[in-house]
Amino acid sequence: MRLILLGPPGAGKGTQAQRLVDKYGIVQLSTGDMLRAAVAAGTPVGLKAKDIMASGGLVPDDIVISIIADRIEQPDAANGFILDGFPRTVPQAAALDELLKQKKMKLDAVVELKVNEGALLQRVENRAAETRARGEEVRADDTPEVLAKRLASYRAQTEPLIDYYSERRSLLTVDGMMSIDGVTEEISRVLSAIGAGAKGTGKGTAKGPVKAARAPRKPAKVSRKPAGAAKKAGKKTAKKAKKPAKAARKAAKGAKKAAKRTARKPAKRSAKPAGGKGARKASKPAKKVTKRRAKR
């Protein structure tokens, strides 16, 4: 399974990523950790990144992509991975898509943890107040001021990724304001709904939002019309087929009647000579002759 977790600072991405790692046996790939590991290993890409990082500059996207390309080929990433901290911008996302395409891999899903920024700021303020109440020093990166700057940077650079992945039907949105366990359960549910993470093999492929995965109803209605048309056509064909049969029966009846009439006429004609006037006239002379003979 290959995932990206999206969400503003403080949304709980790190906590949920670790739970996914434990559940599915995949690895969490942090760009910061990968850069430091590449520098420590003295790889060609690591050496390029070393000088840039030492000067405080941002490592170019092509170097980060090269490091990710090497990292996802390692054995521990065979079951999949969660990218942490990358991509942060749309160009980085496009570069990642190209990399995965070259390696014949696909993202299973991009999970967005949707949260209320106002609530995040309130959480930080409460946490800072509790820290001070205990007499402890508040971390420099855990103040409302720092969080406000990070949120502004997220909105400007990373938030456009939501539209980017939504257009590619890879985005799954989860309510990040629930309890930690509630968010974990919801992430598991949406991943199961799209078939991602089955047995932790990474064979699932994102089909889009869970709602989009439901079978459409309209095609079923459309499919009924051809059946109706076929029935009508069948009826018409049957009617046409019946017409010649009717004509044949009529012709047969006509022939039968004609035959009967023909058979009757000769019989009547032949009967006339036997019992007609000619026969009676012919019999009269015979009777006269007989009478004359009797007188003699």
Lowest mean pLDDT across 3-12, 214-223, 228-237:
214-223
Q: Which of 158, 181, 213 represents a domain boundary (last residue)? A: 213
Residue 81 pLDDT:
96
Domain that holds residue 257: 218-295
Shared domain for 106 and 174, answered yes or no, is yes
Active site residue 2: no
Cβ-Cβ contacts under 8 Å for 142 (sequence gap 6 or more)? 124, 127, 128
Query: Which among 106, 114, 123, 150 is annotated as catalytic?
Result: 150
Question: 120-148: per-residue pLDDT in tens?
Answer: 999 889 888 999 999 998 887 788 889 99
Residue 80 pLDDT:
94
Alpha-helical (H) ranges within 110-217 are: 117-133, 144-153, 160-167, 180-193
Compute the mean pLDDT over every residue in the chain, rounded to the nearest whole number.
77
SS3 4: strand
Q: Is 43 within the bounds of a domain?
A: no
Confidence band of 68 (pLDDT split at 50, 70, 90): very high
Shared domain for 276 and 244, answered yes or no, is yes
Q: Is 72 within the bounds of a domain?
A: no
CA dist., res. 34 & res. 238, Å (int): 76
Residue 140 pLDDT:
79
CA dist., res. 238 & res. 225, Å (int): 20
Q: Is 58 within the bounds of a domain?
A: no
pLDDT at 265 over 70: no
Active site residue 13: yes
At 45, the amino acid letter reads: V
Q: Is 140 within the bounds of a domain?
A: yes
pLDDT at 17 over 80: yes
Active site residue 281: no
Shared domain for 107 and 223, answered yes or no, is no
Mean pLDDT over 244-253 rounds to: 61
pTM over cut 0.85: no
Shared domain for 133 and 232, answered yes or no, is no
Shared domain for 236 and 148, answered yes or no, is no
pLDDT at 87 over 90: yes
Shared domain for 94 and 157, answered yes or no, is yes
Shared domain for 141 and 230, answered yes or no, is no
Confidence band of 278 (pLDDT split at 50, 70, 90): very low
Query: Which among 36, 106, 123, 127 is annotated as catalytic?
Result: 127
**Percent of residues, the chain, with pLDDT higher than 70:** 66
Shared domain for 205 and 223, answered yes or no, is no
Q: Which of 197, 213, 229 represents a domain boundary (last residue)? A: 213
Mean pLDDT over 149-156 rounds to: 92
Q: Is 142 within the bounds of a domain?
A: yes
Query: Which among 88, 114, 123, 203 is annotated as catalytic?
Result: 88
Q: Is 57 within the bounds of a domain?
A: no
Q: Is 73 within the bounds of a domain?
A: no
Shared domain for 176 and 131, answered yes or no, is yes
Helices 90-102 and 160-167 sit at what angle, rounded to 10 degrees? 40
Lowest mean pLDDT across 48-57, 160-169, 280-289:
280-289
Shared domain for 257 and 113, answered yes or no, is no
Query: Which among 101, 103, 132, 139 is annotated as catalytic?
Result: 139
Residue 251 pLDDT:
62
Q: Which of 213, 230, 245 represents a domain boundary (last residue)? A: 213
Top pLDDT among 16 and 259 is at: 16
Phi, psi of 58 (to 5 degrees): -85, 135
Shared domain for 137 and 250, answered yes or no, is no
Domain harbouring 135, CATH code: 3.40.50.300
CA dist., res. 119 & res. 112, Å (int): 17
Q: Is 71 within the bounds of a domain?
A: no
Domain count, the chain: 2
Shared domain for 118 and 202, answered yes or no, is yes
